[in-house]
Structure 1
Amino acid sequence: MFAKFYQYIRAFSLDVVAGAVISARWIGNYFNADIPTEAILALGLTVWLIYTIDHLLDARKLKSKDVFLRHAIHHKNAPYIFGLIAVVTMVLIFILQSLKPYLIGYGLALGFVVFCYLIYVHFIQKTAIWAKEWFIALVYASGICLPTFSYIQEIPLILIYFWLQLFILASINLILFNMIEYKTDKQNGFNSFATIKGADFSRRVILFLLFAFVLIWSSSFLLFKAEELLDYQAMFIFMASVLAMVLSKEIVLRQEEWYRVIGDIVFVLPILEILLIDG
């Protein structure tokens, strides 16, 4: 029963939302940023809206009965989900009224970029593009770091460093999923990095990103001397190791979409440090 319940959590991107809000709180804790709960909640609702709208737009293109649960649910229940989007949007607007104006401005700017991108990808562009995963990774990493940036009102080098690691991890996560779902995406006419560049090339890109991550991760010990950084770097390398494991065991993890379960949990892992260390 729990397995079925968790399938619906993933279908509605709630694990992705959890990863965003937990990682945002985690990054903020490093800087002792006074991030209100309303800002974290607004981030979670925004992430859910973006992913849900994207799934609904993808569900319009279904060409095969061999689809993933998330697409089937959004295709079958589109009217109800649109109603839920309206409710969540109203809740988000209500929450935004309690936030500082400059945070609202940053969030609206990022949201506008995402809106323009979705319009372009789903309604304007005529040829397949391979940049979707990179764009989503950029927005996801930026959304995680945005609350911290907004409340410390500066961009220290270490925050840029955290953003870069989050961006690489999110890119690996998304391209890895696309590589594993290559055949199904092809059947349904979904464009992704893997369907355009090929599964083999995607694997090489993932390996390159993992190598780049290790190099960047290692450089932290030369660039930064903060003692508390060690805990964060331990968590980052743990997150990367989990994704590397998924890549190495992709055939086994295809069953019941375990690769997505484990892959999306990566951004939830910082909760261990929040609970055990920050406490």
Structure 2
Amino acid sequence: MFTKIYQYIRAFSLDVVAGAVISARWIGNYFNADIPSQAILALGLTVWLIYTIDHLLDARKIKSKDALFRHMIHYKNAPYIFGLIALVAMILIFVLQSLEPYLIGYGMVLGFAVFCYLIFVHFVRKKVYWGKEWFIALVYAMGICLPTVGYIQNVPPILIYFWLQLFLLASINLILFNMIEYKVDKAQGFNSFATVKGVDFSRKVILFLLFCFVITWSSSFLFFKAEELLDYQAIFILMGSVLAMVLSKEVVLRQEEWYRVIGDIVFVLPVIEVIFIDG
């Protein structure tokens, strides 16, 4: 029963949304940023809209019953999901009215970039790979940091450093999923980093990104001296270690898509800091 429920949670990207909002609150707490709940809610709704629209656009291309569950569920229930998108969009517009204008401006710029990219990838140049995973990782990390930037009104070096770690982790996460889902994506005609570059090269890139993450993580203790940094870096290295474990156990974790369960939970791990330490 629980497995079935969680399968739907993953299919509708609710675990990704949870990771974004928890990580955004976590980053804000480091700077004691007075981020209102409405800003965090707006981020969660926006992330859900982006992922859901992307899944709907991907679902148009499925060719067989061998498609991934998230694509099948969006394909079969497209009319209802479009209605839900309209409802969520209206709620988002209502929530945005309570936010500071400059934060809305930042969000609109980022949202417009995502909108243009999705249109370009799905409708303009459908047959060419345009680095979708890198773009999503970039936007996801920026979205997590955006509420903090909006409410402290500057970008301190440590925030850039946090963003870089989030970007590396998100990139590893996405390319790892591509690599594991290579055969399904290839059969369905989806362009991904793995289908274009190959599984072996994807694995090498993941290992390189993990190496970059470790170097970046280690260098923090040379450049930043804040006492709170140790707690945050402990969470970051835990997140990186979990993704490294998924890479090492990919064959075992293919069953029931456990690689996605564990991989997406990575961005929920900061809840440890938010609840048990800051709370």
Category of TM-score, reference length = shorter chain = over 0.9
The Cα of 1:101 is off from its aligned counterpart by: 0.3
Amino acid at match of 1:195: T
2:205 aligned residue:
205
Q: Is the 8 A contact 1:141 1:163 kept in 2?
A: yes
Distance 2:207 2:64 in 1: 31
1:56 aligned residue:
56
- The SS at the match of 2:62 is coil
- The SS at the match of 1:190 is coil
The Cα of 1:130 is off from its aligned counterpart by: 4.5
1:164 aligned residue:
164
Distance 2:48 2:126 in 1: 27
The Cα of 1:64 is off from its aligned counterpart by: 2.2
Moved more, 125-134 or 225-234: 125-134
Q: Is the 8 A contact 1:22 1:268 kept in 2?
A: yes
2:12 aligned residue:
12
2:259 aligned residue:
259
2:241 aligned residue:
241
Amino acid at match of 2:119: I
The Cα of 1:127 is off from its aligned counterpart by: 3.3
* 2:121 equivalent to 1:121: yes
Q: Is the 8 A contact 1:56 1:74 kept in 2?
A: yes
* 1:130–1:119 distance in 2 versus 1, CA, 3 Å: closer
Counting only pairs closer than 5 Å after superposition, residues 56-75 of structure 1 correspond to structure 2 as 56-75=56-75
1:29 aligned residue:
29
1:187 aligned residue:
187
1:270 aligned residue:
270
Q: Is the 8 A contact 1:250 1:259 kept in 2?
A: yes
- The SS at the match of 2:226 is coil
The Cα of 1:126 is off from its aligned counterpart by: 4.6
Counting only pairs closer than 5 Å after superposition, residues 133-148 of structure 1 correspond to structure 2 as 133-148=133-148
* 1:130–1:197 distance in 2 versus 1, CA, 3 Å: farther
Question: Alignment identity in percent?
Answer: 82
* 2:229 equivalent to 1:226: no
Moved more, 140-149 or 56-65: 56-65
Q: Is the 8 A contact 1:131 1:193 kept in 2?
A: yes
Q: Is the 8 A contact 2:38 2:95 kept in 1?
A: yes
Distance 2:126 2:221 in 1: 46
2:173 aligned residue:
173
- The SS at the match of 1:33 is coil
The Cα of 1:63 is off from its aligned counterpart by: 1.5
Amino acid at match of 2:98: S
Amino acid at match of 2:6: Y
- The SS at the match of 2:190 is coil
Q: Is the 8 A contact 1:239 1:269 kept in 2?
A: yes
- The SS at the match of 1:67 is coil
Runs of 4 or more above 4 Å deviation = none
Q: Is the 8 A contact 1:130 1:197 kept in 2?
A: no
Distance 1:126 1:253 in 2: 31
Q: Is the 8 A contact 1:33 1:151 kept in 2?
A: yes
Q: Is the 8 A contact 2:121 2:130 kept in 1?
A: no
Q: Is the 8 A contact 2:140 2:167 kept in 1?
A: yes
- The SS at the match of 1:48 is helix
Deviations for 1:164-198, whole angstroms, at most 9, x for unmatched residues? 00000000000000000000000001110000000
Taking structure 2 as the reference length, the TM-score comes to 0.99
Amino acid at match of 2:271: I
Counting only pairs closer than 5 Å after superposition, residues 93-132 of structure 1 correspond to structure 2 as 93-132=93-132
5+ long unaligned stretches in structure 2: none
Taking structure 1 as the reference length, the TM-score comes to 0.99
Distance 1:156 1:133 in 2: 26
- The SS at the match of 1:17 is helix
Moved more, 62-71 or 78-87: 62-71
1:41 aligned residue:
41
Cα-Cα RMSD: 0.6
Distance 1:202 1:270 in 2: 27
Q: Is the 8 A contact 1:141 1:167 kept in 2?
A: yes
